[in-house]
Amino acid sequence: MNARHDRTDSLKPSQKRSRAPLFLFWIASLLAGPAAHASVLCVATLNGGLDAHDYGLVAAFSAANSGPEGGTWDIRLRYGTYQLTGDLKFDPDGSHDNKTFYLSGGWDATCTNRTGHASNTIVRGKAPSPAYSTAIEFNGDNARYDIEYVRFENFTHFFVNDPYCPVLVLCPDTDTVYVERNEFSNGGWISVTTYDASHVVFRNNLVTKLNSYDSGYANTSAVEFTIPSNQDPPQITFNTFADITCKAGDEGAISLFSSQSQLALNHNVVQTSDCTNDIHVDTNSFGIDFVNQWTGGTLTPYYNLFATIGGGFDGDLLGNGNVISTNVKFVDAANGNYRLQNTSPAANAGATLIGAIQSGILFSPIDLDGKVRPVAAHFDIGAYESNTFDSTPPVITVNSTNDVDDDTCDATHCSLREAINLANVQTGSAQRIVFDVPGSCPSVIFLNSELPDITDPLTIDGYTQPGANENSLDFGSDANVCITITAGAAGVAHAFAVASGQPDTTQLVIRGLSFGSGFYAFGTDAIDLRAGSGHRIIGNVFGGYMPPAHNAVSVGSLPRAILGRGTAKNVKIGTPAAADRNYFGNLVENGIVLNDATSTGHRIENNYIGVQPDGLTAQANQNDGISASGGSNVTINGNTIDASFYGISLLGATTTKFTVTRNNIGVNALGIGNATLSNNVGIAVGIGSGQHVIGAKATDNLQPGKYSNFIDNNAGDGILLAADAGSANSIRGNAIGNNGRSGTGIGIDLGGSQSQLANDAGDGDGGPNALQNYPMIKGSSPIDANTRKVNAQFNTSANQAVRVDFYQSLSCGGGKGADATNFVGSAETNSGASGSVKIAATIVEAGKSGFLTATATTSSGQTSELAPCVPEDRIFADGTE
């Protein structure tokens, strides 16, 4: 453990104290509450009557003052503002004292549930004219003072006074003075004076905008603690004192006098102006009746933030964890928000939880906002606990399907929305959200609005939900996805988003979730990625049927599944791993959408699009499976893409350099096609889009018997380069067959005529891929049992380096052009000055009777249509003529 935070070993013997009694007192103070006390007065107004649930505040104080000696008075303030017209004092005389007095705010209409914070209940003095004139006092020899959850404003002074008992006078003993989770703003002076209280606690309070000029008293600091004699070390901890102003002669904004050097002064923020010292420790002798004298002890502060300290302090300030700073970095102090920014020097600058317990530092387990503390490895200094982690962040667990955000994310309630908010404030460190939602699988989260944008590295892992499991099958799916996300109200555009402007360090990983339509559908898409880099969308269900498919459970439809655009880079949608396969179906618009030239480097891999998670059965999309209208250097590999309008559409002049390999397009994951699986067109390229590789590059060496994309069974063209498509689209090494099921369409269509073009002399025409001429096969004959010789010729532009690829198939495209289901060999040549090409190439023996076809691809990547097919010559298979 870091020495700065391991306080036990650094305490001097005189500073160490019995920790068990303190810890037990702390536990008791947490368990103790006003619910068990008598004389409960439920206050709703300032000057109301005496009704049990409608006491006036003034009447309640009057009743508490005049009530019998030794009674218990529990004054509960309902939410609201109580505007005082005069002083407010609890000050019973000597014949009515020895009372237990509770004042607390934040109660509901019946004063049975306290759910509010101090800011919900305001006790406000008169406005200054010219100075504050309202006193708020708690005086007398009473057994206990508890003041909690109230915001006090506009007071000349706020006193809690356990007075001195003169010699030979019998006075009731005060056990506890307890002031916690209150707010004090706009006033002159706060004083807590206790002469014989056994326990004094001033903790988790916010004290702001005090000015000792307004106190009406000479030689007073804005905040004074005078504690001459106490049984237990006083606790002044976890408070925020801010915007405190001093007058000339004040020794400090906060003045401390304690007869015990063990007074706990830790985890306080003190920020002042015009003060000689932020904190002053008074060690002068303190006398009341010139008989009893007290000498103040020197104090050792731990883990406070202040600029200056004077008087009787000792110890190594920095070594004891104190932060010396004038810039606290509040969120918005000008508008009253004294919470800490993530970069505040007070964030995570306190003790560790273990270190605090070992050192006897008493703390409330919640901060002024009701947030569990500490959030990270160390406490924050001050009344508020930030959400910033200072070490490996803990996992954030979603345990509710509620779509609420009440700034609470703990073991009893944490929604997905709250978990993302909590993760977003952990700037610079990767976060992980897991699930432990009670109930059956799947659990459905209905979103009433878009979830918070992702602003930092974040993994959201639905496979952590009990009962869920990722897919383990190379074919089909045995995944169980147990978290479903859908719109719970109209107008919800999307679920998750990385908004424009986020840096490349913002990285979102989403796995093991399903997205669909419940009462409402998302307006645009499920996941919207407009910035960041390295996002991974893996193992999810987008519309259609859930795996295992035989359960026939549908999550409904989506307009779009995933949008990648703007400056989003290097998005991975699926990976080669079976567990990372995504499932897309029943999509109303294009499934995976890529836009903008600035969005590059994506990889879409191993997904089922338009086919159920069983890998066999169609689940139709109304538009394209994958649609790109911008971007470059994108890889589409190993997907099964069916039952869409265009299986893949690449449109627009800024859509360039896509690599499309090893996909099943128009057939299921086993390569089997039927009418329900057909795309209208397998792959479509248009509107200036070009420089793509569909299968293999112009320079790649192909292997006989191997193929890249299997493009088969589509209603129209297998591959369409529309009349307005760009150039340099290399289409090589694919298995293309049985396209044109609707009666029109061919394997490779340059220009959209849906029939084979005629070659032109000199190949001077223009269009997609420059309408490259195809080879004309003149015949083939066997060389031996394993090889054949094929002759081909064609005319093209002069001095072109050309690679001719030969394919064999069992059919000739059904009269709609050639099929090319089996690559059998290539030949390289150059057209020379004449542009005429004649080839005698050696190809592998195809085996069965069939048909040959070929394509020509220039070195720049211009691939032709498939040549008219010709039957293989099997008559002279033995070589005899």
What is the chain's Cα-based Rg?
A: 39
Residue 254: pLDDT over 50 = yes
CA distances from 131 to 127, 154, 172, 175 (A): 8, 9, 36, 35
CA dist., res. 528 & res. 450, Å (int): 11
Structure-block tokens of residue 506: 């913002």
With cut-offs at 50, 70 and 90, classify the pLDDT of residue 728.
very high
Side-chain-side CA neighbours of 609 within 13 Å: the count stands at: 38
Residue 126: pLDDT over 60 = yes
- pLDDT confidence of residue 94: 86
CA dist., res. 101 & res. 235, Å (int): 20
Mean pLDDT in residue range 405-412: 78
With cut-offs at 50, 70 and 90, classify the pLDDT of residue 591.
very high
Structure-block tokens of residue 708: 């890249």
Residue 432: pLDDT over 80 = yes
State the CB neighbour count (10 A cutoff) for residue 329.
14
Mean pLDDT in residue range 586-610: 97
CA dist., res. 860 & res. 728, Å (int): 6
Residue 477: pLDDT over 50 = yes
CA dist., res. 303 & res. 679, Å (int): 67
Strands 330-332 and 396-398: unpaired
CA distances from 121 to 34, 54, 206, 330, 835 (A): 17, 15, 14, 23, 91
> Are the CB atoms for 265 and 231 separated by under 8 Å?
no
With cut-offs at 50, 70 and 90, classify the pLDDT of residue 16.
very low
Phi, psi for 424 (deg, rounded to 5) = -65, -30
Residue 661: pLDDT over 90 = yes
- The residue extents of the domains of the chain are 41-358
CA distances from 237 to 138, 336, 379, 571, 777 (A): 21, 21, 12, 48, 91
> Are the CB atoms for 624 and 610 separated by under 8 Å?
no
> Are the CB atoms for 525 and 558 separated by under 8 Å?
yes
Per mean pLDDT, which range of 49-53, 201-205, 277-281, 797-801 is the poorest?
49-53
Query: How many percent of the chain have pLDDT more than 90?
Result: 68
CA dist., res. 311 & res. 561, Å (int): 66
Residue 166: pLDDT over 90 = no
CA dist., res. 283 & res. 297, Å (int): 6
Residue-averaged pLDDT of the chain: 88
- pLDDT confidence of residue 7: 23
| Non-local CB neighbours of 256 within 8 Å, separated by 6+ positions | 224, 225, 236, 263, 265, 279, 280, 281, 282, 296, 299, 311
Length of the chain: 881
Per mean pLDDT, which range of 150-164, 387-401, 771-785 is the poorest?
387-401
Residue 684: pLDDT over 80 = yes
Q: Strand locations in 734-848, DSSP E?
A: 735-737, 748-751, 776-782, 787-795, 801-809, 822-830, 836-844
Element (H, E) at 64: helix 57-66
- pLDDT confidence of residue 576: 96
Q: Where are the alpha helices (DSSP H) in 483-585?
A: none
- pLDDT confidence of residue 602: 98
With cut-offs at 50, 70 and 90, classify the pLDDT of residue 17.
very low
- pLDDT confidence of residue 293: 65
- pLDDT confidence of residue 478: 95
With cut-offs at 50, 70 and 90, classify the pLDDT of residue 816.
low
Mean pLDDT in residue range 838-846: 86
The residue with greater pLDDT, 361 or 881, is 361
Structure-block tokens of residue 282: 């008074």
The residue with greater pLDDT, 407 or 78, is 78
Assign 3-class secondary structure to 107-125.
Answer: ECCCCCCECCCHHHEEEEC
- pLDDT confidence of residue 817: 74
Q: Which residue type does 508 have?
A: L
- pLDDT confidence of residue 167: 63
Mean pLDDT in residue range 144-162: 95
Residue 261: pLDDT over 80 = no
Query: How many percent of the chain have pLDDT more than 70?
Result: 90
Structure-block tokens of residue 639: 């997907």
The residue with greater pLDDT, 98 or 172, is 98
With cut-offs at 50, 70 and 90, classify the pLDDT of residue 218.
low
Q: Which residue is it, tokens 């920095």?
A: 318
Q: Which residue is it, tokens 């002044």?
A: 236
Structure-block tokens of residue 76: 């509960």
State the CB neighbour count (10 A cutoff) for residue 8.
14
CA distances from 26 to 21, 179, 232, 360 (A): 9, 14, 12, 10
Mean pLDDT in residue range 322-337: 94
CA dist., res. 870 & res. 854, Å (int): 10
Residue 405: pLDDT over 90 = no
- pLDDT confidence of residue 688: 97
Residue 29: pLDDT over 50 = no
> Are the CB atoms for 546 and 555 separated by under 8 Å?
yes
Residue 358: pLDDT over 90 = no
Q: Where are the alpha helices (DSSP H) in 359-507?
A: 416-424
- Render the burial of 508-542: b for 16+ CB within 10 Å, e for the rest: bbbbbbbbbbbebbbebbbbbbbbbbbbbbbbbbb
Among 283, 289, 292, 288, which residue's Cα sits nearest to residue 260? Answer: 283
Structure-block tokens of residue 9: 């070993």
Each as own residue / partner, the long-range contacts of residues 827-830 (CB below 8 Å, 24 or more positions apart, any chain) are 827/803, 828/801, 828/802, 828/803, 828/804, 829/801, 829/802, 829/804, 830/799, 830/800, 830/801, 830/802
The residue with greater pLDDT, 215 or 445, is 445
Cis peptide before 365 (omega within 30 of 0): no
Going 151 to 157 to 163 to 164, the CA torsion angle's sign is: positive
Residue 5: pLDDT over 50 = no
Mean pLDDT in residue range 567-583: 97
With cut-offs at 50, 70 and 90, classify the pLDDT of residue 172.
confident
| Non-local CB neighbours of 645 within 8 Å, separated by 6+ positions | 621, 622, 623, 624, 679, 680, 681
List, for residues 782-795, the tens digit of each pLDDT value: 888 888 899 999 99
The model carries a pTM of 0.68
Residue 50: pLDDT over 70 = no
Mean pLDDT in residue range 534-563: 92
With cut-offs at 50, 70 and 90, classify the pLDDT of residue 54.
low
CA dist., res. 641 & res. 462, Å (int): 25
- pLDDT confidence of residue 363: 85
Among 553, 565, 490, 491, which residue's Cα sits nearest to residue 527? Answer: 565
Residue 298: pLDDT over 70 = yes
- pLDDT confidence of residue 881: 33
